[in-house]
Amino acid sequence: MFSVHEMKSVEEDFSRNLGSKHRFIAASKCKKLRRPPVWLMRQAGRCLPEYRLLKKRYSFLDLVRIPELAAAITIQPLHRFDFDAAIIFSDILVLAEAMGYMYRFAEGSGILMDKRLENLEQIKSLDVTLVNERLAYVSESIQLVNKYLKGEKALIGFAGSPWTLANFMLEGGSSSTFTRAWWLYQNEPLIYQRLIKKLVQATVSFLKLQIYSGVDVIQIFDSLAELIPADKYMDVSGKWINFILRQIPQTTSIVYVKGTRYLLSSLSSLESNVLGIDASIQLRDVAEKLRKDVAVQGNLDPRLLLSSPMAVEIATRRLIYSMQDRPGYIFNLGHGVPANAKIDCIDALVRTVMQFNDGDPDYS
Ligand code: CP3
């Protein structure tokens, strides 16, 4: 049976016939909902056959840069699954490109850049003034997607954290170790700061561009956070993320931190509305340690999408159930959809979240 308080929230939920976008925003404001909104990091792209078809005809960069294609790929997963949000098809590295560091995607080798940041001169000459002009295609993609979404689904824009972006730019692409940014922070802290301040400036411009173009939510990916020792996290990365958040217009914000288990003590210092949590820890335990006005997002193990629909369904129910009395929850994976994820497993995930809406007798 429901308590009076719970009944009220359920009634509100249904009587407002909460659409996807409102559900998403309500969850990020820690409103109590019958079911959490759901989307998946990397929902657009590689695991979908319709994306792979496009990849046969166009390079990854073309797909990102041609607004009609980027918009089509953003929408592809919404044709198949009943997600509450779309994430704009782009990459965190478009910002490096806009500052003169050209990149490409090579199957099997990840990201390759034409050059890497080597010295102070190069850092000084990073040009952050042309970012918005060079990324006008992202603005166009957002506008095209919004025409299709008609305000029904939340649209998510994103950027990498300055620390994560600095790692790629200092290595010249993907790396198995990513040692150079940490080296710079430890041995040349003033140069590190100089670089990070430029990246902060560029990221603020880029996020503003996305917000003014019509995204409802922004997510900052700190995907390489786990390379930082816990006691240094705020100084190396977190404080710069906060700096960005304070400079952008009022928008729902999510910070995804990979390495939650190690960095737990720092999470409450981040100033976003929502914290994205990886699969290394029980989500409920994290939520209990945070302020009640901070929402959480996550954290189903992405590897489950390689198993079976039944296993996904069980794990999904368990996760939602564990969060049921913690207002402020957005369902997601702990990291991106793996390239070899099974479509029927994603389908089982989304259906299971949706069924919570119908008051599944097992859990209500
Ligand atoms: O989430 C989405 O569906 C939107 C699109 C999106 C992409 N990249 C497209 C992409 C998003 C949100 C990103 C973010 C991104 N890009 C991150 C942070 C998130 C994370 O996964 O940690 C990082 C670190 C990058 C940099 C990047 N882009 C790498 C290291 C690679 C190669 C390895 C990989 O993950 O595939 C990319 C290429 C990339 N970006 C692909 C996609 C769909 C793969 C291209 C392909 O296989 O066709």
- pLDDT digit string (tens) for the chain, length 364 residues: 444 454 455 445 544 458 999 999 999 999 999 999 999 999 998 899 999 999 999 999 999 999 999 999 999 999 999 999 999 999 999 999 999 999 999 888 899 999 999 999 999 999 999 999 999 999 999 999 999 999 999 999 999 999 999 999 999 999 999 999 999 999 999 999 999 999 999 999 999 999 999 999 999 999 999 999 999 999 999 999 999 999 999 999 999 999 999 999 999 999 999 999 999 999 999 999 999 999 999 999 999 999 999 999 999 999 999 999 999 999 999 999 999 999 999 999 999 999 986 444 432 3
Nearest to 299 by CA among 325, 275, 271, 263: 275
On whether the CB atoms of residues 60 and 353 are closer than 8 A, the answer is no
What is the rounded CA–CA span in Å between residue 241 and residue 28? 18
Nearest to 155 by CA among 218, 221, 105, 245: 218
Helix (H) or strand (E) holding 160, with range, is strand 154-160
Nearest to 215 by CA among 254, 257, 246: 254
Tokens describing residue 192: 């590190």
The answer to whether the peptide bond before residue 299 is cis (omega within 30 degrees of 0) is yes
Ligand 1 centre to CA of 272 (Å) is 22
Q: Where are the alpha helices (DSSP H) in the chain?
A: 4-15, 20-28, 49-57, 60-65, 67-80, 94-98, 120-124, 131-134, 136-149, 162-171, 180-187, 189-213, 233, 239-247, 260-267, 283-289, 309-323, 343-355
Return the number of other C-beta atoms located less than 10 Å from residue 289's C-beta: 10
What is the rounded CA–CA span in Å between residue 101 and residue 96? 5
* % of the chain with per-residue pLDDT over 70: 93
What is the rounded CA–CA span in Å between residue 118 and residue 120? 7
pLDDT in tens, 240-289: 999 999 999 999 999 999 999 999 999 999 999 999 999 999 999 999 99
Count, residues in the chain: 364
Is the dihedral angle over the CA atoms 279, 282, 284, 285 positive or is it negative? negative
On whether the CB atoms of residues 295 and 32 are closer than 8 A, the answer is no
Paired strand residues for 112 = 104, 173
Tokens describing residue 296: 């959480």
Helices (H) and strands (E) in the chain, counts: 18, 9
Q: Where are the alpha helices (DSSP H) in 29-135?
A: 49-57, 60-65, 67-80, 94-98, 120-124, 131-134
What is the rounded CA–CA span in Å between residue 164 and residue 223? 6
Q: Which atom of ligand 1 approaches the CA of 174 most closely? A: 30
Nearest to 131 by CA among 162, 108, 154, 98: 98
Residues with CB under 6 A from ligand 1: 41-46, 55, 60, 87, 89-93, 105, 110-111, 158, 160, 174, 221, 223, 336
Ligand 1 centre to CA of 338 (Å) is 10
Record the pTM. 0.93
Q: Which atom of ligand 1 approaches the CA of 107 most closely? A: 47
Q: Which atom of ligand 1 approaches the CA of 55 most closely? A: 48
Ligand 1 centre to CA of 91 (Å) is 6
Paired strand residues for 298 = 331
